[in-house]
Chains A and B, each alone.
Chain A
């Protein structure tokens, strides 16, 4: 049962343009959402997060948008750089208990110079 879905397995974007990575979730009890970035042969690294009480969080070139009514979040990268080429995982946390993060299956972003 996929509670966190990333329906695009891959995305190619030209350098300097905007990258938009999407994530949908099914469990309305999630209260916190995170994006992780993963390079080959490395573990995922934390990128940016957003609480369910907000609809936007920005950190430099990275912005995460949350639409609770649609159970949808997106990660915007502007401008995209070749070093952003990686797999991006969306993750979510339940509001109660010590439940671990639930991850999507990732989207591979390729930024073409």
Chain B
């Protein structure tokens, strides 16, 4: 029973398209995150939600819009996809925003924009 599940696992799409990545956690955690791992391999925070409220929004183009319908779900919608958006996107969750017990990550979504 997957704790943090992301769909789809792979996504290949053309420039200019709009796409969504879904994330669900069944751990009862109150905080969820989106991280991006680009070609340089850094895991960079994009967004953080606590109990459906946005608490962190790093410098991310406004083409990226997170949506949290409830505290178990955090989806990422991307408009007008660009080549530079190609990366692996990881969803994660934690209990409490400070993550003292560590984050639980999904298996990632590899997005390729062609």
Interface on B for A, CB 8 Å cutoff?
4, 9, 31, 33, 35, 40-45, 48, 50, 55-56, 90, 92, 97-108
Interface on A for B, CB 8 Å cutoff?
2, 32, 34, 36, 41-46, 49, 89, 93, 97-106
Query: Is the pair B45, A43 in contact by a Cβ cutoff of 8 Å?
Result: no
Query: Is the pair A99, B40 in contact by a Cβ cutoff of 8 Å?
Result: no
Query: Is the pair A43, B56 in contact by a Cβ cutoff of 8 Å?
Result: no
Least Cβ–Cβ distance between A49 and chain B, in angstroms: 7
Nearest 8 CB-CB pairs, A to B? A98-B97, A43-B105, A46-B102, A103-B43, A100-B45, A105-B41, A105-B42, A43-B107
Q: B33 to chain A: which residues have CB within 8 Å?
A: 100
A98/B108 contact (C-beta < 8 A), A34-B102, A46-B102, A49-B102 known: no
The docked-state distance in angstroms from the alpha carbon of A46 to that of B93 is 12
Query: Is the pair A106, B90 in contact by a Cβ cutoff of 8 Å?
Result: no
Q: B50 to chain A: which residues have CB within 8 Å?
A: 98
The winner among A36, A43, A46, A106 for most chain B CB atoms within 10 A is A43
* A98-B56, A103-B43 given; 9 more Cβ-contact pairs under 8 Å: A32-B98, A43-B92, A43-B107, A45-B105, A49-B100, A98-B98, A99-B97, A100-B33, A100-B48
A44/B48 contact (C-beta < 8 A), A93-B98, A98-B55, A101-B103 known: no
Query: Is the pair B90, A43 in contact by a Cβ cutoff of 8 Å?
Result: yes
Query: Is the pair A106, B98 in contact by a Cβ cutoff of 8 Å?
Result: no
Query: Is the pair A103, B42 in contact by a Cβ cutoff of 8 Å?
Result: yes
Query: Is the pair B42, A41 in contact by a Cβ cutoff of 8 Å?
Result: no
